Amino acid sequence: MKQQKTPASLILLFGATGDLAKRKLYPSLYNLFEKGLLSDRFAVVGVARRLKGNEDFRNWVKDSIMTFGERSDQLEEFISHFYYQSHDVSDSSSYTQLKQLVDRLDEQYRLEGNRIFYLAMSPEFFGTVAGHLKADGLTETNGFKRLVIEKPFGHDLQSAIELNNEIRKAFLEEEIYRIDHYLGKEMVQNIEVIRFANAIFEPLWNNRYISNIQVTSSEILGVEDRARYYDKNGALRDMVQNHMMQIVSLLAMEPPIRLTTDEIRSEKVKVLRALRAIKPEEVHQFFVRGQYDQGMINGKEVPAYRDELNVSPDSNTETFVAGKLLIDNFRWAGVPFYIRTGKRMRKKSTKIVVQFKDIPMNLYYKNGSHLNPNLLVINVQPEEGITLHLNVKKTGQIMETTPIKLNFSTNSIDGMNTPEAYEKLLYDCLRGDATNFTHWDEVALSWKFIDTISTVWEQEKGDFPNYQAGSTGPKCSDELLAKDGFCWWSDTELNGKKC
């Protein structure tokens, strides 16, 4: 099917000089433009404080694309659609002027009143901006209006409810696009296709045949220059509440009756509703945490988390989380979903491993054959693809088995994938497809689950630091699986070492 062009639209980008806009949004929009997927009738208005005017802004965007994207001869034409307003979002008087600019561009580019409001700035401003957009008439338009909102969506359930109530005064739920960039990743989107387009997987996709599922997202990076945000949030809120729980929902959901936004979301929500709530006294049994110490990464010494800029020297913030989730429904009763994420780990890798149950009997034991469990590995990044681990006969005279891998890999276009994820999500949002954005019900249910864990962790001092930068995380993470008789399928194990 040929990809459709997006409808004529205006993108009003708050936080136009920020890191996210520069590294991800401009290169992604440019890719859409270059591929001919962006309507010729588009305009972008950037809002921030530090630049002076259109010219300054266009150079800024150009620089972003030349640094983080690919330059081509269409760049000048692309940036001619960019406009800027220097504006402090807490200053109520600036919105009238912004409305005039937006209305003028609407006419100039024949945008039919279609408006995307993208909030790529600190969450403390989300409510204020949404309120002004309505009060000052920017949301009064004949076309569509959509609010794209970045993470974090709240700090806990209560703050998320408050934020949601604020933005709902100006936008309907179906007009709100809550970004979870993992949902824009090629292989995360592929989970659904692997499951629902292959007769060999779906009949086995349940507690009769699967022993456990593991989702790992490890990063080499530390907190970089985001410590002010990160130290108040930690890995549980930064990665687990959103990305990891979204992946679990996609792995565990029932087949939707059709591939519409509502049907898919409704199945994901059912998974989150079936998630077994952890009681405060059970937190240690189900979740463990870590914080990195100094160590070596790629031959370079890196500091401990507590020595990073803007991190408190006695910080109790976790940079690593591993947990066990149980889904109490007919399909998944008794199957643990293990999740693990951490900063300053040995490798950048996001991977899902589905471990199938052992067959009832090993007929080949007499020749010393150890049968490895069958595994389906979904490589999300940096490699993209799937690997199926099977046992076959070792070539030769005796009936001996040997493990093999059937491998499908698609080389990722952008190495780390993230710009591509934003490109897909921007494209979806412009076309009004909210499937790969999180619904309020999903946000609320995942905060409800997470809140018990964070409350317990905040009340107790973590035994930190407890893992070296450049390692695979703290010992307690391995112990979490070992007590259930499993181990993490890291690269060494996947490459033949026994688990």
Ligand X SMILES: NC(=O)C1=CN([C@@H]2O[C@H](COP(=O)(O)OP(=O)(O)OC[C@H]3O[C@@H](n4cnc5c(N)ncnc54)[C@H](OP(=O)(O)O)[C@@H]3O)[C@@H](O)[C@H]2O)C=CC1
- Catalytic positions: 243
- Which neighbouring-strand residues pair with 250? none
Whether the Cβ atoms of residue 89 and residue 121 lie closer than 8 Å to each other: yes
Per-residue x/- track, 214-233, ligand LXAUTJHC (CB under 6 A): ---x-x-x------------
**Strand residue runs (E) in 246-395:** 287-290, 292-293, 295-297, 300-302, 320-326, 336-342, 349-356, 375-381, 384-393
Which option in ligand LXAUTJHC, ligand X, none does residue 19 bind, with CB closer than 5 to 8 A by kind? Answer: ligand X
- Chain positions 190 to 219 lying near ligand LXAUTJHC, rule: CB under 6 A, are 217, 219
Amino acid residing at 395: T
44 vs 251, beta carbon nearer ligand LXAUTJHC? 251
What residue is closest to ligand X based on CB?
18
Please tell me whether residue 103 binds ligand LXAUTJHC under the rule CB under 6 A: no
User: 424 CB contacts (<8 Å, ≥6 apart)?
Assistant: 184, 189, 436
Nearest to 340 by CA among 389, 287, 391: 287
Which option in ligand LXAUTJHC, ligand X, none does residue 416 bind, with CB closer than 5 to 8 A by kind? Answer: ligand LXAUTJHC
CB neighbours of residue 450 within 10 Å: 21
Measured distance CA(32)–CA(416) in Å, rounded:
18
Q: How far is the CB of 379 from ligand LXAUTJHC (least distance, A)?
A: 13
Asked if residue 348 belongs to a known ligand binding site, the reply is yes
Which option in ligand LXAUTJHC, ligand X, none does residue 458 bind, with CB closer than 5 to 8 A by kind? Answer: none
Nearest to 215 by CA among 381, 29, 426: 381
Whether the Cβ atoms of residue 158 and residue 168 lie closer than 8 Å to each other: no
Nearest to 300 by CA among 344, 237, 268, 269: 344
Please tell me whether residue 383 binds ligand LXAUTJHC under the rule CB under 6 A: no
Q: How far is the CB of 420 from ligand LXAUTJHC (least distance, A)?
A: 10
Whether the Cβ atoms of residue 136 and residue 103 lie closer than 8 Å to each other: no
Whether the Cβ atoms of residue 315 and residue 305 lie closer than 8 Å to each other: yes
- Which neighbouring-strand residues pair with 287? 323
124 vs 307, beta carbon nearer ligand X? 124
155 vs 431, beta carbon nearer ligand X? 155
Binds ligand LXAUTJHC (CB under 6 A): choice among 192, 238, 423, 428: 238
102 vs 311, beta carbon nearer ligand LXAUTJHC? 311
Which option in ligand LXAUTJHC, ligand X, none does residue 238 bind, with CB closer than 5 to 8 A by kind? Answer: ligand LXAUTJHC
The residue ranges that bind ligand X (CB under 6 A) are 15-21, 48-50, 88-90, 120-123, 150-152
Please tell me whether residue 418 binds ligand LXAUTJHC under the rule CB under 6 A: yes
As to burial, measured by CB atoms within 10 angstroms (0-12 exposed, 13-18 middle, 19+ buried), residue 318 is buried
Which option in ligand LXAUTJHC, ligand X, none does residue 16 bind, with CB closer than 5 to 8 A by kind? Answer: ligand X
25 vs 239, beta carbon nearer ligand LXAUTJHC? 239
Asked if residue 343 belongs to a known ligand binding site, the reply is yes
Please tell me whether residue 416 binds ligand LXAUTJHC under the rule CB under 6 A: yes
Nearest to 402 by CA among 377, 376, 367, 371: 371
Asked if residue 366 belongs to a known ligand binding site, the reply is no
Between the alpha carbon of residue 474 and those of residues 318, 321, 340, 343, 491, the distances in Å are 11, 9, 11, 12, 17
Binding site for substrate, by residue number, is: 181, 185, 219, 238, 343, 348
* Residues at the interface with ligand LXAUTJHC (CB under 6 A): 217, 219, 221, 238-239, 350, 416, 418
